[in-house]
Amino acid sequence: MCRFEQRRNKLRRMIRKNHLDGLLVTSFTNVTYLTGFTGDDSYLVVGHREDLLFSDQRYHTQLEQECPGLPLEIRGPGKKMLSSVAGGLKQMNAWKLAIESNSISVGLRDALAEAVPKADLVATDGWVEQLRMVKDREEIARTRKACELAERAFGAVRALLTEEMTELQTAAELEYQARRFGACGLSFPPIVAVGPRAALPHASPTSRRIGESDFTLIDWGAQEGLYVSDLTRILVTGKISPKLRKIYELVLKAQLAAIQAISPGVTCEQVDAVAREIIAKAGYGKQFGHGLGHGTGLDIHEAPRLSQGQSTVLKAGMIVTVEPGIYLPGWGGVRIEDDILVTRNGHEVLTSVPKQLEDCLVR
């Protein structure tokens, strides 16, 4: 039995437990997770005993290659997706149908109800995402590759960095180097923020030059094909000021303590609290205004979330980021981020870019 069929069988048990006939999967990412199909514009119905993937003729050959043996409904030109779905539901006798409430729009839900008036549509939240939280061996291996590609790209950019380069040029170079080493691209538009602009946690690159400040924050990741990585580092291109040393070492202390706390059975909010308490005790609690981290996988942000109020219990196979930060308007910000695998006995840090402050100096 292939891993995709195993995933669908896990989902099938959830469907039966809730006394439903099937789940209509409308998230293209979830379709990929459940079938291996890497295209888009395709829906999947997972039923009690059978499954049916709906797509169009553009993907016919690709579907046969990526999803051998999976029943397909290929619509021709002029036939609408919902018309195909309606016919498939009738064929599968799946009238009490779960839908993905976090994927389907109100308009699509209403159109589906009109196309299949006999169906009882039951909103569900995060069933497939719940399965995606725990990675299998191949997913972990692919994430390792994504981390390696990101690190190689960063190393190349660091070696090429000059004071005259702009944030935009640095971001473009990261993309180029990641692709040169074999990545499909970056995980997300990278953040390159010089000096005071690093106080913006999601700063977009500008024409500001690297040499305009003593340090630059870079947040980036690579996509190896499907799976992604996510890292953040500070590069010091000038002098290490006493203030930078103080803030950086505090953030690093919080990050290392939080990483050390990661283990099966620990809740996400407990890990967040470890880092948050260290930063708050130093007087910078209000300057750490986001969650400690998030899961990665097919998406750059997915469950679980390391933040306040998140009672999800960590399990072996989960991959999360740990990225505390302190942001001071007018001065700048420091964030340090690594990707962490939860193991049976604790954790493993998947990323290895050196992060002691002296390691951040670009000479």
Average pLDDT over residues 204-211: 98
The Cβ of residue 8 has, within 10 Å, a number of other Cβ atoms equal to 25
Q: Is 178's pLDDT higher than 90?
A: yes
Average pLDDT over residues 98-126: 93
Q: 128 in helix, strand or coil?
A: helix
Q: How far apart are CA 216 and CA 212, in angstroms?
A: 10
| Whether residue 82 is found in the same domain as residue 150 | no
Q: Is 363's pLDDT higher than 90?
A: no
Q: How far apart are CA 51 and CA 218, in angstroms?
A: 43
Q: Which domain holds residue 12?
A: 3-131
| Whether residue 147 is found in the same domain as residue 274 | yes
- Extract long-range pairs of 168-175: CB within 8 Å, 24+ residues apart: 168/192, 168/205, 168/206, 168/207, 170/205, 170/210, 170/216, 170/218, 171/205, 174/218, 174/220
| Whether residue 192 is found in the same domain as residue 338 | yes
Average pLDDT over residues 107-118: 91
Residue 286, classified by CB atoms within 10 Å of its CB into exposed (0-12), middle (13-18) or buried (19+), is: exposed
Structure tokens at 319: 């991959």
Q: How far apart are CA 61 and CA 68, in angstroms?
A: 10
Averaged confidence pLDDT in the chain: 96
State the CATH number of the domain containing residue 98. 3.40.350.10
Express as a percent the part of the chain with pLDDT over 70.
Answer: 100
Q: How far apart are CA 186 and CA 224, in angstroms?
A: 9
| Whether residue 127 is found in the same domain as residue 143 | no
pLDDT category, 78, cuts 50, 70, 90? confident
DSSP string, 222-264: EESSS-B--EEEEEE-S---HHHHHHHHHHHHHHHHHHHH--T
Structure tokens at 11: 């989902």
Q: Among 357, 359, 172, 166, which Cα is nearest to 251's?
A: 357
Alpha-carbon 35 to chain mean position = 19
- The predicted structure's pLDDT at residue 153: 98
For 279-325, the pLDDT digits (tens) are: 999 999 999 999 999 999 999 999 999 999 999 999 999 999 999 99
Q: Are 78 and 125 in contact (CB under 8 A)?
A: no
Last residue of a domain, one of 114, 131, 148: 131
Last residue of a domain, one of 131, 156, 172: 131
Q: Is 1's pLDDT higher than 80?
A: no
Q: Is 208's pLDDT higher than 90?
A: yes
Domain count, the chain: 2
| Whether residue 246 is found in the same domain as residue 347 | yes
Residue 283, classified by CB atoms within 10 Å of its CB into exposed (0-12), middle (13-18) or buried (19+), is: exposed
| Whether residue 179 is found in the same domain as residue 213 | yes
- The predicted structure's pLDDT at residue 106: 94
- The predicted structure's pLDDT at residue 271: 98
pLDDT category, 199, cuts 50, 70, 90? very high
| Whether residue 243 is found in the same domain as residue 331 | yes
- The predicted structure's pLDDT at residue 76: 85
3-state helix, strand, coil in the chain (%, to 5): 40, 25, 35
State the CATH number of the domain containing residue 244. 3.90.230.10
Q: Whats the size of the chain, residue-wise?
A: 363
Q: Are 221 and 231 in contact (CB under 8 A)?
A: yes
Average pLDDT over residues 77-93: 89
| Whether residue 117 is found in the same domain as residue 263 | no
Beta strands in 135-250 (DSSP E): 185-186, 191-194, 215-220, 222-223, 231-236
Last residue of a domain, one of 84, 112, 131: 131
pTM of the model: 0.95
Express as a percent the part of the chain with pLDDT over 90.
Answer: 92
Q: How far apart are CA 125 and CA 299, in angstroms?
A: 17
| Whether residue 143 is found in the same domain as residue 120 | no
The strand pair at 22-25 and 96-100 is best described as parallel
Average pLDDT over residues 49-64: 93
Q: How far apart are CA 333 and CA 14, in angstroms?
A: 44
| Whether residue 123 is found in the same domain as residue 262 | no
Q: Among 28, 49, 215, which Cα is nearest to 128's?
A: 28
Q: Across the strands, what pairs with 235?
A: 216
Helix (H) or strand (E) holding 278: helix 268-281
Q: Is 221's pLDDT higher than 80?
A: yes
For 18-33, the pLDDT digits (tens) are: 999 999 999 999 999 9
Q: Is 80's pLDDT higher than 90?
A: no
For 324-335, the pLDDT digits (tens) are: 999 999 999 999
| Whether residue 170 is found in the same domain as residue 310 | yes
| Whether residue 188 is found in the same domain as residue 90 | no
Q: Are 91 and 21 in contact (CB under 8 A)?
A: no
- The predicted structure's pLDDT at residue 79: 84
Q: Are 186 and 220 in contact (CB under 8 A)?
A: yes
